[in-house]
Each structure stands twice: as structure tokens, then as C-alpha cells.
Structure 1
Amino acid sequence: MNTGILFCFIVEVSEENLRKHIRYLASPELDGREFNTKGDELAAEYIHNCFHEYGLEAPSQFPDYIQKLPEGGQNVIGILRGSDERLQEECIIVDAHHDHVGNGFLGASDNAAGVAVLLELARIFGKIGTKRTLLFTCFDAEEQLLSIKGRKQMMYGASYYILDPVFDIKRIFAMLTLDTLGRNVLGDLIFILGAEHSLLIQDIVYECQTNLRKIMFEVDMLTGIKGNYIPFVEKKIPSLFITNGMHKDYHSTNDTENRLQYGLLIEDTRFVRELVSKLSDSDGKPDFCKNPIPPKSEVEDILYLLKLLQGLIRKTSSDADRFDYIISKLEERPKKEDLRHAVQIILGFMTPNYAKLYLLLNDAQMAEKKKEHSVALQHYKEIIALYDQYRIPYLWLQDINDKIAKLEEKSR
């Protein structure tokens, strides 16, 4: 009998704990937890204290749980040793980045909620144990585009960890990234992306029981979206990106604690709890697929989202008929570009600011290629105007300002 999973359901998810964590991490006191600020440091200190309270072991390399980053900021890492003499030599990473964009953008869903779920999982598994070792990581600098030795880089905290790991990266069984949880305009859905790199992990995800509708497709369908899983995938480590999806308040001042759907967040936590338990108990080895194998439900899941979205739009607009063509393509024998197009439509509905931003950027770049400088200049200025409502990486903003200056010079 699998006592780990049995006790997993006796130690219930605490909504009170989730609320407590998010209220602090997404509070005005932390001012949006921008990388290398006091708020960022306070978030790391809070996570450190929780790890200590829940009995997690600090890595020998940094006994205070804090991995200092050379460019500032800090990763927070705690260890829960596995109980199985053989399997404890392998580890499962559960990650949620603790930084956000700062300046009053409080980041409740992105990613105080992800950190809260991670902390609640640390508490639960600290009581019941697992066969494989769990490594709980809250990497820093996921949001910011930094200049590191003259090279622009995102996911700096995760990338640095790969260079200075607690365990040999060859011992990583799987990596799970929790990001942007607790809100979904399309209902009780959870996206599990990245399983195309391991058939074993695909099977385990499908085995997990949940009250949520599981949506699985290849992570590269999400053009322009990055996450802490990327440095691990580049090292051929099977990795999952787990999210409820972006929403209209993503990276805006309206991403606040009072807008979260706590019923959804509780179900998120329960799902990841079961997933981690099954991964920990698995006798298999999730070999990394060199040639990605799409989840068997990929087309079905994307089609489900499109029809759901069409139904929502039909209530308020005649635009729903415009979905008929792409739906018919998916119901036949869809090509990869058809699936990617469908996902971008869905993403555009879920996050109108995000969609507008990337459309403007694409239009500006196309205008530049055609040497339509005045058109490109107008689009770049619209992106800057959008910055007050929707945060984009600061160095990207600098690049756009540089382009504006050059285009204005040409127009003189």
C-alpha cells in the first residue's frame, strides 16, 4: 500500500495558509518584489522562515537556505530527504519564482500564489515524507531581463542554479515550475506544459485525479512565454510548466490578492501534491525525448479551449463565428501551425494586454523591415504608452526607447 499517497490525503491543504502566504508576499510592504530590492529580500526571508518552520534541511553549501546571486538577489532552497534508500539519491525540483516587477505591481497570481502553493506542499510533504528527495526552490530574477557580462538574460536565478546546483543535475528526476496560479477566466483548468519530453511523465500526469480539467500541449506553442523550466530543458532534464494561465490583470496593478479564486488554488495544490507523490513513487526513469512527442490529448485539449472560448464570446458578440474556420481545421488533420495559431487566439483572449503588446511589437518590426519609419515609430510609442498598464522587462523597454530615438532621428 502506498502510505505516502494515503497520508497525503489525510494532511489536507490549508486555505488559511495559502491566504496568509499570499497576503504577505503580495502586500504593499513588499512593493511587488522587484529583483534586488528590499521587497525581494523580504520575500526571500519569509520563504526561508517557512522552510525552517516546516523542517526542511538547508543545503550544506549555504546553511541559511539562501543562494546569493553574483548580480544581486537570492535563490531560496530547501531539501526534504527521501525515505527510500535507493530512490533518495534522485531529486524532484518543485519551483516557484518569488520575484515580480515591483513599483506597485503586487503580483498576487504571478507569482505569490505559486510560492504559496510551494510552501503548502513543503508543509504537507514535511509531515508525510516522500521516497525521492524533494528540492523546493524559489528562484529569483525570473521576470527581469538582465545584462550579465554583456549578454541579455532572463531566468537568471534558475540559470545560475544550473551552474551551482545543490545536487548533480544528472540526479534530477523531474523539475516542476509553478507559475501564475489562482485565476482562470475559462473556468477550472490547469495547464501542464512540457510533458512532450517524457512519455513516463505524460502517463503520470494522465493518472493524476483532479477536479480540474487538465490541459496539455507542447510548451513551444506559447510563443514569447518564458519560465524557469527553460534552463533545465536545455540540460535535457524533463520539466513541466504548471499554470492556470495568464489573465487580463497579468503584470498589471490589478493582480491583487482579493481577485484570486481560492477554490481554484486549493485544487491546484491538491493536483500538484498528487503529481509529486506519483513522481516520487515511480519505478521508472523519465528519459528525455530528443524528439518531442506531443501529449495524446493535445489536439482535443486545444479544441476544447477554442469551443469553450467561442461559447463565451457568443454570449456578447457576433465575433464567435470567426472561430469556425480554425475549429474546422483542428477537427480535420491539423498541422503544427494550426495548433499554434489556435493557442495564440486563446492566449489573446485570456490576456488582451499581452496580445496587444506582441501585436504592436510585430507590427513595428514589420514596418521597420519595409522602411515605413513613421508607422514603426507610432507602434513603438504605443508600446511605451502601454507600459504604465502592463509591465514589460526593463531592458526591453530601453531597447524600444533606443529604437524610438533612432527613428525620430531619421524622420528629422
Structure 2
Amino acid sequence: MKRIAYYAAVLGIVCTHLVHAQSVDNLKKHISYLASDKLEGRGTGTEGGKTAAAYLEKQFKKIGLKPYGDKGSYLQEFPAKKGLPPNVSYVQATNVVGFLDNGSDKTIVIGAHYDHLGKGDQGSSLEANSAGLIHNGADDNASGTAGLIELAKFYAKNKIKEKHNFLFIGFSGEELGLIGSKYYADNATIDLKSVNCMINMDMIGRYRDDKGLTIGGWGTSSFWGKNMPQLALNQGVKYNVDSAGVGPSDHTSFYLKNLPVLFFFTGAHQEYHKPSDDANLINYEGELKVLELAKGIIEKIDESPKLDFIQVANNPHAGNARSSFKVTMGIIPDYAFDKGGVKVDGVTKGRPAEKAGLQTGDVILKLGDNTTNDVQEYMKALGKFEKGQTIDAEIKRGAEKIILKITF
């Protein structure tokens, strides 16, 4: 009997190693393809971006997810504005949406954006003279897209019928200003009232034990703080928390619909938004750690009643987690708005905009002496101000123009 138990234990270890190795191989396969020169940086509306969408669609179909885009397909198309004045163009962009139906009245949304900067022509490359250079975006965000595919495969094939349905979404237009996730949240193909929470993966491929994982959305539900610490401890994952529900990625669009969100992010690095963000720099073992942590918290969600939602107040970095500005206003701009000015899509409690009386739906026309005809001009203006400074902001509210005092 001891010999049988011994061989069973050895077999279990061997099987575990084989599954682990297969998971690493799968991540390598997805990321190597998505971040290859063939896809030319997966720019929104480009041929490379369309090829990436087709790859994601093929994976969802192979896994057996139901098509949950528009008109019975996996695809949800929407218009997107790209480029900087005077070289602004409009393109057709595509979200890729698949549904795992477990017959539940509750759904967990899991998302990741698959677009990147193309050939550096979208205005956010951090490489000097980068026009024409392919930005492969292995970490940003082929890593999250690969994780999305592997989680979809896991829940579709694990022979366990969870108490939640799962909606898997590959977003486009994130690099242009969260356009794809905003479009989906405003034009959802499921009833958002059935959504228990949204989990977003953006740049999860550079985990380091000394630096750890950043978990955003921590303050949007008490559930995260009650359950995540022990899970992370058990799995040996070091982490930092960001309470904000808004930030520079697609969970923001769901938080603004009053849904609890969770955001996994392994941090910025020297290759961020540069052509050098390549697949050979991905920590595949580290990404598996992040995915196992995601599975762990999903298991806890599945065992629990509906999550509470908390509107997070007074986060000084809300909406600007990757910016280097000295000041923030605490607004979410509507990046798709193109009728002159910057339309406010959300206002963070306790921040300068909210304290000054700015409201969702307002249009910012001017900050101090700086006109803000679009988001790019707004960002340039914001970079000129200092902490403690008070400025006049010209605002259009409905048909009326008003002046508000903004103190940073």
C-alpha cells in the first residue's frame, strides 16, 4: 500500500508539472504571435489590429464560448478617432466578446485590451523619433490578452459548473482612451445589472518578486480586502493596492457603471510604450502567478453572495496612475467626444474638479489661459499647473457657459 501511495504521489507531481509547463507554453504561443512584427503593433483600426481580433475570435470559438458581440457574432464594432491634430482620422474598431453560459443570473466580466500603438502613430509613444517603428506591446497588452484566453479556456474546460456565467471581452481602442470598454459599457450585450464584478488584466507580464503586483479597484468593494490578503499569502504573491475604481485602463468604464472592479497590473518599466516591449522580456512564470491569483479570487466570488459596491473617494492618483503631472483634476474624459472641448465622463469624489462643482456631462472649454479643444490640449494645459495653484475653468453646462475656480 505504501508503494501504491508513493507512485500515486509521484504521478500527481508529474501531472502538475506537465500542466504547468503546458500553461507556460500556451502563454508563450499567444504572446509571441500577438507581439510579432507580423501584427505591426496591433494599432486600432489597422490590418494588424484586425488580425489580432481575428486571432482572439478564433480562440474563443475553439474554446466553445458563445458569440456575444453584435448580430450573433463575436465582434462588436464601433468608430474610433485616432491620431493627433492635424493628422486625425476615424477608423472602425472592434471588441471581441465571448460568453460562457452556466445558467446563472450572475455574471463575472473578465477583460483585457488587445490593441497597442501600431507603428508609433497614435500619439503616446515614449520613444523619440518613433514614427514608423513597430511597437509590439508584448506586455502592453499581449500579456493580458493571453491571460484572457487562458482563463476562458480554464473555465470552459474545467468540468466544474460555476455559480456565475463568464463574459470574456478583448477590448480595442484602449490606447486611444478606453474607447472600446466605454463603448461596450454603454452598449452592453448583457444586462449590466446581472454583472457581479469586472476583472481587468493590463500589463501582467513583468511580475517581479521584489516589486510585486499592483491590485487596483481595491476600494470598490469590501470583498477584496476581506479575501485577497490570505489568497496572496497562500500563493506567495507580493502585492500593493490602489483603492481607485478609475485608472488608465478598461476597468474604469465598468466602475463608472457602479460595478465593483479589480485591476491586475505588474507595473511600468523602461520598455513601456516603446518599440522594445518584446516577448523575450515577459516573465511567463510570473504571469502564471497572476492568473492563479485571479482564479483564487474568482473561486471566492463564486462561493459568496453578491458583492457590495463602494464609490471610492479622494484618491489623489485616480485616472492618472501612469502620468507624470504635478497636479490632477480627478475627471474621466470622454475620449470619443469630438464637438469641441473635453466632455467629462466621470468625476472623482474629493478631487479638485468635484470640489469646484464640476459635473458629469460638463464640457471643459478652457483651463486658465489655455483652450482645451480636445483631450490632447487638455493634457498639455494640465502639465503647466502647480500644486496649490487656483485657476479659472471655463465650462459649458448644457447651453450655459460658467466659470469655476479649480484649486489643485
Whether the TM-score (by the shorter chain) exceeds 0.5 is yes
Contact 2:97 2:169 in 1 (8 A): yes
The one-letter amino acid of 1:109's match is D
How far apart are residue 81 of structure 1 and its match? Answer: 1.3
Report the structure, 1 or 2, having the larger strand content. 2
1-structure distance, mates of 2:116, 2:378? 18
2-structure distance, mates of 1:395, 1:192? 27
1:110 aligns with 2:140: yes
2-structure distance, mates of 1:121, 1:40? 22
Partner of residue 239, structure 2: 214
For residues 103-137 of structure 1, what are the alpha-carbon distances to aligned partners after superposition, in whole Å with 9 as ceiling and x for unaligned?
01110000000000111111111111422000000
Partner of residue 262, structure 2: 240
1:260 aligns with 2:276: no
3-state secondary structure, aligned to 2:210: coil
Partner of residue 122, structure 1: 152
- Using the size of structure 2 for normalisation, the TM-score is 0.65
3-state secondary structure, aligned to 1:216: strand
Partner of residue 92, structure 1: 108
The one-letter amino acid of 2:190's match is F
Task: Specify which of 159, 163, 166 is matched with residue 131 of structure 1.
Answer: 163
How far apart are residue 55 of structure 1 and its match? Answer: 1.1
2-structure distance, mates of 1:361, 1:214? 25
1-structure distance, mates of 2:294, 2:211? 15
Contact 2:174 2:249 in 1 (8 A): yes
Residues 179-198 of structure 1 mapped to structure 2, 5 A cutoff = 179-184=202-207, 187=210, 189-198=212-221
Task: Specify which of 39, 64, 76 is matched with residue 96 of structure 2.
Answer: 76
Percent of aligned positions that are identical: 28
1:166 aligns with 2:175: no
Partner of residue 309, structure 2: 288
- Structure 2: runs of 5+ lacking an equivalent: 1-15, 81-91, 120-133, 330-366, 384-408
3-state secondary structure, aligned to 2:45: coil
Report the structure, 1 or 2, having the larger helix content. 1
Contact 2:209 2:238 in 1 (8 A): no
Partner of residue 142, structure 1: 174
Residues 21-60 of structure 1 mapped to structure 2, 5 A cutoff = 21-59=30-68
2-structure distance, mates of 1:125, 1:37? 31
Specify which structure has the bigger relative contact order, considering alpha-carbon pairs within 8 angstroms and separated by 6 or more residues.
1
1-structure distance, mates of 2:48, 2:375? 20
User: Structure 1 residues 156, 65: CA separation in 2 closer, same or farther (over 3 Å shift)?
Assistant: same
For residues 330-353 of structure 1, what are the alpha-carbon distances to aligned partners after superposition, in whole Å with 9 as ceiling and x for unaligned?
xxxxxx77xx6xxx9xx8xxx8xx
2-structure distance, mates of 1:31, 1:291? 38
2-structure distance, mates of 1:97, 1:25? 12
2-structure distance, mates of 1:268, 1:252? 24
Contact 1:92 1:174 in 2 (8 A): yes
How far apart are residue 217 of structure 1 and its match? Answer: 2.7
1-structure distance, mates of 2:277, 2:187? 33
User: Structure 1 residues 142, 60: CA separation in 2 closer, same or farther (over 3 Å shift)?
Assistant: closer
User: Structure 1 residues 236, 95: CA separation in 2 closer, same or farther (over 3 Å shift)?
Assistant: same
The one-letter amino acid of 1:134's match is F
- Structure 1: runs of 5+ lacking an equivalent: 1-8, 145-153, 295-335, 363-368, 374-393, 404-412
RMSD of equivalent CA atoms:
3.4
3-state secondary structure, aligned to 1:173: strand
Partner of residue 317, structure 1: none
3-state secondary structure, aligned to 1:40: helix
User: Structure 1 residues 170, 181: CA separation in 2 closer, same or farther (over 3 Å shift)?
Assistant: same
- Using the size of structure 1 for normalisation, the TM-score is 0.65
Contact 1:18 1:117 in 2 (8 A): yes
1:396 aligns with 2:376: yes
Contact 1:201 1:286 in 2 (8 A): no
